[in-house]
């Protein structure tokens, strides 16, 4: 009786916790969308231009921070991993095709949240040996004066990304190669640990260089494969869209009591994939060298769209078009591999194995940096960084051999916790982010390339990495 009652209470608490998170994500996403006047749609063209211009490596070569494109690649590396290939498969298996609709919705609204949090991270970044670092922990301390809140967030993100999430990535790689080539999971874990160890000991600069190469190449290849599959099945694409929409909102799902599961799976997996509002991407955004915080805020917003609307949707269409999610007991990456094999033959499983390897491997790089940046927020003592690196590599090994269900459950718990802390903070700093956006737009209307100064917005404190506005020189009088 006690066991039954305890299980019931745990289940109820989990549902309440999930609905609280969903409510805040959707509510704040809508709030930020309205307050920014639909910035994620209105300035879409500006985002693309800034991303292209952000490939200039001048400041990076002078150790003045990463390029805007590198910061975009680091955050995209963390986003574009198991959430895109394995997470989408799990969402469809658990919630049906309708879960994809809710992933789209969380991305469309969450993009505004992503803009706000990344802009704030740029404003309150601090200088370090490689340029800059920052993130929610930093603006919680400097903008809100709540170091305790920053430490809480730093602990949560270090546990989430530095330990739990990297186990998710290596677990998926291990399953992919074990399923395709029967390579023992411990061997997969050991190989990944050696490779990742070499890169992370090179710091943020080595991580940035690897991410800016790996992420675009494999993302483009994967999208091309998905596009080919959709073209082959173009006559049934309207039916797929219809299935997703009707399954997400249909009367049958309401009557069957499955609508809640569809919504929760879609939003949970959507958040895990695009990370909008979670507070992770701002850590990468803060490393960029830009002339105005809003520039990187816009670039990071584009990352949310790239992740969910393009890459996650590609996986969803591959799986739904193959119609393999309704049969058998496969889940996660192995379901995605089966779907690709159904469409393209046996070689596609090999492609899927290597795609997930490079997607998840690049995610490990982003995850590691998020942990390191927040360890440095708590203490700059290098001993703590070394301890974290060892723990990170141990979890790579553990993740390769652990059970999938346990790892995803832990990831959901920690993801929700850090998201709630971050959402509270950015809600409190809404006016600051909006003032930065207004300053950026005012300069753009004047035909200027926007430049931000620590005194551009009256009343701001603890803006460390931005210069004061230069004083205008007095024009000499006629008498002089």
Q: Is residue 437 in some structural domain?
A: no
- Residue 434 pLDDT greater than 50, yes or no: yes
The yes-or-no verdict on residue 131 having pLDDT over 90 is no
Instruction: Give domain status of residue 323, yes or no.
Output: yes
- What is the pLDDT averaged over residues 263-276? 65
The answer, yes or no, to whether residue 480 has pLDDT greater than 60, is no
**What's the pLDDT tens digit per position in 365-414?**
878 888 888 998 998 888 988 898 888 888 888 777 766 566 666 666 77
Classify residue 238: in a domain, yes or no: yes
For residue 136, being part of any structural domain is answered with yes
For 302, other C-beta atoms within 10 Å of its C-beta total 22
pLDDT value of residue 11: 40
Q: In this structure, is residue 466 part of a structural domain?
A: no
* pLDDT attached to residue 254: 45
> Rounded mean pLDDT of the chain?
79
Q: 132 in a domain, yes or no?
A: yes
Provide the domain limits for residue 229: 19-411
Q: What is the DSSP string of 71-119?
A: HHHHHHHHHSSHIIIIIHHHHHHHH-THHHHHHHHHHHHHHHHHHHHHH
Confidence of residue 3 (pLDDT cuts 50, 70, 90): very low
Mean pLDDT within 119-130 = 90
SS percent in the chain: helix, strand, coil, step 5: 75, 0, 20
In which band, very low, low, confident or very high, does the pLDDT at 6 lie, cut at 50, 70 and 90? very low
Span 186-222, pLDDT tens digits: 787 788 888 888 877 777 777 777 777 777 777 788 8
Closest CA to 364 of 83, 166, 158: 166
Inform me whether the pLDDT recorded for 237 exceeds 50.
yes
pLDDT in tens, 282-293: 988 898 889 999
Size of the chain in residues = 480
State the pLDDT at residue 9: 33
Specify the CATH number for the domain of residue 98. 1.20.1740.10
Q: Which pLDDT score, from 0 to 100, does residue 259 have? A: 53
CA atoms of 380 and 378, how far apart (whole Å): 7
205, part of any domain: yes
Q: What is the pLDDT of residue 267?
A: 64
Query: Is 187 contained in some domain?
Result: yes
Total number of domains constituting the chain? 1
């Amino acid at each position: 009786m006690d066991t039954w009652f305890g299980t019931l209470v745990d289940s109820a608490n989990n549902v309440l916790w999930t609905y609280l998170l969903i409510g805040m994500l959707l509510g704040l996403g809508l709030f930020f969308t309205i307050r920014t006047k639909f910035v994620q749609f209105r300035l879409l063209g500006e985002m693309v231009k800034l991303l292209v211009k952000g490939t200039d490596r001048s400041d990076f070569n002078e150790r003045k921070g990463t390029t805007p494109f590198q910061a975009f690649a680091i955050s995209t590396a963390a986003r574009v991993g198991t959430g895109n290939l394995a997470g989408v498969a799990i969402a469809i298996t658990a919630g049906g095709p309708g879960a994809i609709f809710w992933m789209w919705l969380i991305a469309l609204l969450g993009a505004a949240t992503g803009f706000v949090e990344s802009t704030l991270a740029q404003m309150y970044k601090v200088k370090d040996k490689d340029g800059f670092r920052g993130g929610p922990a930093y603006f919680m301390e400097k903008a809100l004066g709540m170091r305790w809140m920053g430490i809480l967030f730093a602990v949560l993100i270090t546990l989430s990304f530095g330990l739990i999430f990297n186990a998710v990535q290596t677990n998926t790689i291990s399953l992919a190669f074990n399923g395709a080539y029967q390579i023992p999971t411990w061997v997969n874990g050991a190989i990944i640990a050696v490779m990742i160890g070499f890169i992370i000991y090179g710091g943020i600069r080595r991580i940035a260089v690897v991410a800016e190469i790996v992420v675009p190449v494999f993302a483009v290849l994967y999208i091309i494969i998905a596009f080919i599959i959709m073209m082959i099945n173009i006559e049934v694409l309207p039916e797929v869209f219809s299935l997703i929409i009707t399954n997400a909102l249909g009367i049958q799902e309401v009557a069957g009591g499955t609508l809640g599961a569809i919504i929760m799976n879609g939003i949970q997996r959507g958040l895990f994939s695009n990370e909008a509002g979670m507070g992770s991407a701002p850590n990468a955004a803060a490393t960029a060298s830009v002339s105005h915080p809003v520039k990187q805020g816009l670039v990071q917003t584009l990352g949310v769209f790239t992740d969910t609307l393009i890459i996650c949707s590609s996986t969803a269409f591959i799986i739904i078009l193959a119609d393999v999610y309704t049969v058998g007991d496969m889940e996660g990456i192995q379901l995605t591999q089966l779907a690709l094999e159904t469409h393209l033959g046996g070689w596609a499983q090999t492609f899927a194995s290597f795609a997930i390897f490079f997607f998840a491997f690049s995610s490990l790089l982003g995850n590691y940096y998020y942990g390191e940046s927040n360890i440095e927020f708590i203490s700059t003592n290098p001993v703590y960084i070394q301890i974290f690196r060892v723990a990170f590599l141990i979890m790579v090994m553990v993740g390769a051999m652990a059970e999938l269900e346990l790892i995803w459950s832990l990831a959901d718990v920690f993801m929700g916790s850090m998201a709630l802390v971050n959402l509270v903070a950015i809600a409190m700093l809404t006016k600051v982010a909006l003032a930065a956006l207004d300053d950026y737009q005012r300069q753009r209307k004047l035909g200027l390339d926007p430049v931000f100064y620590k005194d551009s917005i009256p009343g701001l404190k603890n803006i460390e990495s931005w210069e004061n506005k230069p004083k205008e020189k007095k024009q000499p009088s006629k008498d002089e």
